[in-house]
Structure 1
Amino acid sequence: MDSRVIAELVLHLGRITSGDGLVGGLTPGQWAILRYLASANRFSRTPSAFAAFHGTTRGTASQAIKSLVAQGYLKQTRSRTDGRSVRLDITNKARAIIAKDPLEALVQAADALPPGVRGHFSNGLQRLLGHVASATNKPLFGTCNTCRHLKGDGCCKEGLPTYICGFLSESLAEEELDELCINFAPDKPLSPRTPSVGRA
Structure 2
Amino acid sequence: MSMATEIVQLLVQSAGSWLFEGTRSGLSDREWMALRFLALANRLSRTPTALAGFLGTTRGGASLITAALLDKGLVVRKPSAEDKRSITLCVTGEGKKLLERDPIHALRDQIVALEGSDRSRLRDTLRRVLVGLDVAERRHHTDVCSQCMFLVASGEDGDRHFKCRLFRKSIALKETSQLCTYFEGRS
TM-score, with length taken from structure 2? 0.90
Aligned residues of 1:144 and 1:150 also touching (Cα < 8 A): yes
SS of the residue corresponding to residue 174 of structure 2 reads: helix
Taking only aligned residues, the RMSD between alpha carbons, in angstroms, comes to 2.0
Are residues 1:178 and 2:177 paired?
yes
Structure 2: runs of 5+ lacking an equivalent? none
Cα distance, 1:99 vs. partner?
A: 0.8
Are residues 1:164 and 2:166 paired?
no
Are residues 1:147 and 2:151 paired?
no
State the one-letter code of the partner of 1:12. Q
Aligned residues of 1:77 and 1:88 also touching (Cα < 8 A): yes
Whole-angstrom CA distance in 2 between matches of 1:5 and 1:143: 29
Q: 1:116 aligns to what?
A: 117
SS of the residue corresponding to residue 128 of structure 1 reads: helix
SS of the residue corresponding to residue 17 of structure 2 reads: helix
Are residues 1:59 and 2:60 paired?
yes
CA gap 1:135/1:112 in 2 versus in 1, 3 angstroms:
same
Q: 2:136 aligns to what?
A: 135
Whole-angstrom CA distance in 1 between matches of 2:177 and 2:136: 26
Number of residue equivalences: 185
Structure 1: runs of 5+ lacking an equivalent? 189-200
Whole-angstrom CA distance in 2 between matches of 1:50 and 1:5: 32
Any residues of structure 2 matched to 1:8-27 within 5 Å, and which? 8-27=9-28
Whole-angstrom CA distance in 1 between matches of 2:38 and 2:17: 22
The worse-fitting range, judged by mean Cα deviation, of 74-83 and 100-109 is 74-83
Cα distance, 1:5 vs. partner?
A: 2.5
TM-score, with length taken from structure 1? 0.84
SS of the residue corresponding to residue 88 of structure 2 reads: strand
State the one-letter code of the partner of 2:156. C
Are residues 1:81 and 2:54 paired?
no
SS of the residue corresponding to residue 24 of structure 1 reads: coil
The worse-fitting range, judged by mean Cα deviation, of 165-174 and 22-31 is 22-31
Whole-angstrom CA distance in 1 between matches of 2:155 and 2:123: 26
Aligned residues of 1:153 and 1:163 also touching (Cα < 8 A): yes
Aligned residues of 1:156 and 1:162 also touching (Cα < 8 A): no
